[in-house]
Chain A
Amino acid sequence: MASFSTTATVDDPRISLGDDGILPPVRGGGGDDGSSPGLPDYATRLRRARLGLLVALTPVLMLFVSFSSAYVVRQGLPTLDPRTNTLVRDWIPVTLPKLLLINTGVLILSSVFMELARRQIKGQATRVPPTSAPGVSAGDQTRIPWLTMTLVLGLAFLFGQWTAWRQLAANGFYVATTPSSSFVYLLTGTHAIHLMGGVLALFVAGIASLLRRSVATRSIVVDVTAWYWHFMAGLWIYILCLLEFAS
């Protein structure tokens, strides 16, 4: 059992506790003592944004885990052939277009560029005081336009996926042709939709740059987008391996 050991009389804890009760704004990352007053600083905002991304990626992961589980289960199911009245397999493996390998290379390269962009702007953000006003230039920010190059490669990847789907269709594999083709379209399409989210974030980063938002803000947008982009690249490699080796 705890006991009350202070002699302080507390009538209104909001106003009477001085440094033992209510203090001016303190943001400490949760119960720790490493806090600083005022608006969350760059490090805090960056940490929070990264944590938010990590949490956000969990349901994305669960989505693809769920699809993968369905893929494995569906692959092993027989179906009744009404003509012969016997159980047969309707899983016809799809020959993936070679273009997907090129697309993979494009996405990996874009991920490298994205990482370079992240490091470049992070370096700028840490050199500039975090309280820098919007519109204040942090120096030579566009020496190598890594972000633009990432964006171009991202769009190239999406165009490549579209072309690969057209090749699949030309070979007779539509969404409902066979369960394996259903999964090819499902997995690659869902991945493409998610990557579009990354492309959108790159546009946002570009607009933030045009609007001359603070380097710290842009750095956080780029940092989070970069980790998301890397996740998408890793996810794509997983999907490709699943489709290629588990069929």
Chain B
Amino acid sequence: MATHEIAAQESHAHAAPQGFIRKWVFSLDHKVIGLQYYFLALAAVFVGMFLSLLMRIHLIWPTAVLPLVGDIKPETYLTLVTMHGTIMVFFVLTTAPQGGFGNYFLPIQIGAPDMAFPVLNMLSFWTTFLGFVVMIAAFFVAGGAPLHGWTGYAPLSALQSAGPGEGLGADLWIISIAIFCIGALMGALNFITTTLDMRAKGMTMMRMPLTVWAWFVTAILGLLAFGVLLSAGILLLMDRNLGTSFFVPLVTVNGQLTGHKGGSPLLWQHLFWFFGHPEVYIAILPAMGMCSQLLSVFSRKPIFGYKAMVYAIMGIGFLGFMVWGHHMFMSGMSPYTAFAFSIMTMAIGVPSAIKTFNWLGTLMRGRIRFASPMLFAIGFVSLFVSGGISGPFLAQPVLDIQLHDTYFVPAHFHLIMGVASIFGIFAATYYWFPKMFGRMMNESMARWHFWFSFIGTYAIFMPMHYLGMAGMPRRYSQMTEVSYLLHLIPLQKFITYAAFVTIAGQLIFVVNLFWSMFKGKKASDNPWEATTLEWTTATPPPHDNFGGHTPVVHNGPYEYSVPGAPRDYVMQSDPEIKAAH
């Protein structure tokens, strides 16, 4: 047996499994678990997208009877809103960038053979999977899925008699989210411990790729936020099933007293948004990290202001916990409190702007390679700016009260949190696909996919800003017969048609993904000529990631176009480069 094989067995806590079940189902390998998360998110995104398609159809043809679905009643529309938001936020935007790519690449990028606690990692995925199954089950129980929105505002969410779907369906919704929280916490535990304790020799914190920083800070956010959501979920379940009154005041339903009294719906809002706002950054920070990485790789330049980027990630994470009240300006809070939340919210613009300018600084005078991952990374920056610029508007209590319940808000958060994050996922997919599957994705299809997605998402969400400013309320199912909104219906139709085209464009991605897995051109170990450790190992990486060796790191993660170097990139494990005098 070769020396390196012995070393590989010693360095990896668990041997490579042989059977299908242990290798691909109940796997302890972080790479397989990463793929499991990725494909779970892929399944979830199609469910979520299908629901949004039904919403868009209903908005312009409210009386249409659809095959399999039938007619969509107003309460059904609210169910679609609820489940679309929940599935997308939890099982796509939280799952794919962190659980998927984070699991796969964090250990490799820091030179570790696996996560710190592989069994916990496996449990984390299967817990999340169970959460998804329970969430989907809500569609099929008596009364159907809940209609209280992804924010689950009480007392609507706290009373079983509040409406269709608020019975067992709502219980399943809460239980699903509680299960998801537990899975996410197990994942966060692994991310933090692995990052702090398993970095290879020479991989100091300030040599970590920005992807690792983003996953690490995201894990900390999850650690602090999901516990609070879990507590809120427990209290809500008690209100619903044990007769307690944490969130429910004295209230009647259909003229009957419910038996609750003294609870506070605002308490739910505080607890929920203490989780909810950091959740925005849980969704977007990994995308920021991944796109920072890609902008440097494809500009052939070091990332502009590495340390500033690290501190900006931390700053965004910290401030993310200070601003939950800006979601509650409508609650009648004290103007002084609202002012404080408003100032803190606008303060997040500072680290966000640092990141944006640094991205532009990275692009400036770069030798840009417009490969498909780069297109999506630039698209991410564009969407982040376009979606972010409306943030300071909504941070003003006076403006927010006007705009809060209009289409302006969905336009804002879909661009910055939803689509920008999705573009980060696409960018990462095109970038890391060769490493994960050993083949290249088809570049032509990738470019078609990009232009469909980029133009399509702008066509969908930019007009929504105008709808909002014109006073079109969100969450309402039938507005085709409201006289003061009639002139906006053509715009709604345009958005729906744009959604058709954009969703059709996603089929290109799916075809490319699965076709390339089997038929794509064989990839080399480092097709993008990148510097980080995942590109030093075989493609796809072996079970212990580095084939019996552990890398030693000598350089930072973004050493491109180094003067005097034999090629235009210096890998992290290459001999140390010296600072020029």
Closest CB in chain B relative to A203 CB, distance in Å: 17
Q: What 1/0 flags go to A1-39 for Cβ under 8 Å of B?
A: 111111011100110010011111111111111010111
- Asked if A84 is an interface residue, CB under 8 A from chain B, the answer is no
When the two chains form the complex, which single residue of A21, A29, A179 contacts B244, counting CB atoms closer than 8 Å? Answer: A179
Q: What 1/0 flags go to B113-133 for Cβ under 8 Å of A?
A: 100110000000000000000
The answer to whether A9 touches B566 (Cβ under 8 A) is: yes
- Asked if B228 is an interface residue, CB under 8 A from chain A, the answer is yes
The residues of B that contact A186 with a CB separation of less than 8 Å are: 234-235, 238
The answer to whether B189 touches A56 (Cβ under 8 A) is: yes
| Cβ < 8 Å to B, chain A residues 36-94 | 37-39, 44, 47-48, 51-52, 55-56, 58-63, 65-67, 69-70, 73-74, 77-80, 82, 90-91
The residues of A that contact B242 with a CB separation of less than 8 Å are: 175-176, 182
Closest CB in chain A relative to B17 CB, distance in Å: 19
The residues of B that contact A30 with a CB separation of less than 8 Å are: 110, 195-199, 203-205
Closest CB in chain A relative to B360 CB, distance in Å: 19
The residues of B that contact A132 with a CB separation of less than 8 Å are: none
The answer to whether B230 touches A74 (Cβ under 8 A) is: no
The answer to whether B550 touches A21 (Cβ under 8 A) is: no
**B contact patch SS:** loop
The answer to whether B232 touches A82 (Cβ under 8 A) is: no
| Identity of the chain A residue whose Cβ is nearest the Cβ of B571 in the assembled complex | A13
| Identity of the chain A residue whose Cβ is nearest the Cβ of B559 in the assembled complex | A2
The residues of B that contact A65 with a CB separation of less than 8 Å are: 228
- Asked if A190 is an interface residue, CB under 8 A from chain B, the answer is yes
- Asked if B291 is an interface residue, CB under 8 A from chain A, the answer is no
The answer to whether B575 touches A3 (Cβ under 8 A) is: no
The answer to whether B552 touches A23 (Cβ under 8 A) is: yes
- Which of B219-227, B338-346, B397-405, B515-523 binds A? B219-227
Closest CB in chain A relative to B441 CB, distance in Å: 24
The answer to whether B250 touches A4 (Cβ under 8 A) is: no
The answer to whether B573 touches A31 (Cβ under 8 A) is: no
Known: A78-B262, A82-B250. A59 touches B549 (CB 8 A): no
The residues of B that contact A5 with a CB separation of less than 8 Å are: 564, 577-578
The residues of B that contact A67 with a CB separation of less than 8 Å are: 231, 235
- What separation, in Å, do the CA atoms of A66 and B580 have in the docked complex? 52
The residues of A that contact B225 with a CB separation of less than 8 Å are: 62
- What separation, in Å, do the CA atoms of A176 and B261 have in the docked complex? 11
Known: A28-B201, A80-B250. A8 touches B262 (CB 8 A): no
The answer to whether B189 touches A55 (Cβ under 8 A) is: yes
The answer to whether A74 touches B231 (Cβ under 8 A) is: no
**CB-CB nearest 3 A-B residue pairs:** A79-B262, A62-B227, A59-B227
Given known contacts A35-B201, A182-B244, what 13 new A-B pairs fall within 8 Å (CB)? A1-B562, A2-B579, A4-B562, A4-B563, A4-B570, A6-B575, A23-B550, A30-B205, A52-B117, A61-B227, A66-B232, A67-B231, A74-B264
What are 9 A-B pairs at a CB distance below 8 A? A4-B570, A13-B573, A14-B537, A26-B201, A28-B199, A62-B227, A80-B249, A80-B250, A82-B250
Using CB atoms and an 8 Å cutoff, list the residues of chain A in contact with chain B.
Answer: 1-6, 8-10, 13-14, 17, 20-33, 35, 37-39, 44, 47-48, 51-52, 55-56, 58-63, 65-67, 69-70, 73-74, 77-80, 82, 90-91, 175-176, 179, 182, 186, 190
Using CB atoms and an 8 Å cutoff, list the residues of chain B in contact with chain A.
Answer: 3-4, 7-8, 10-11, 13, 110, 113, 116-117, 185, 188-189, 192-193, 195-205, 207, 223-228, 230-232, 234-235, 238, 242-246, 249-250, 257, 261-264, 267, 270-271, 274, 525, 536-538, 546-554, 559, 562-566, 570-571, 573-580
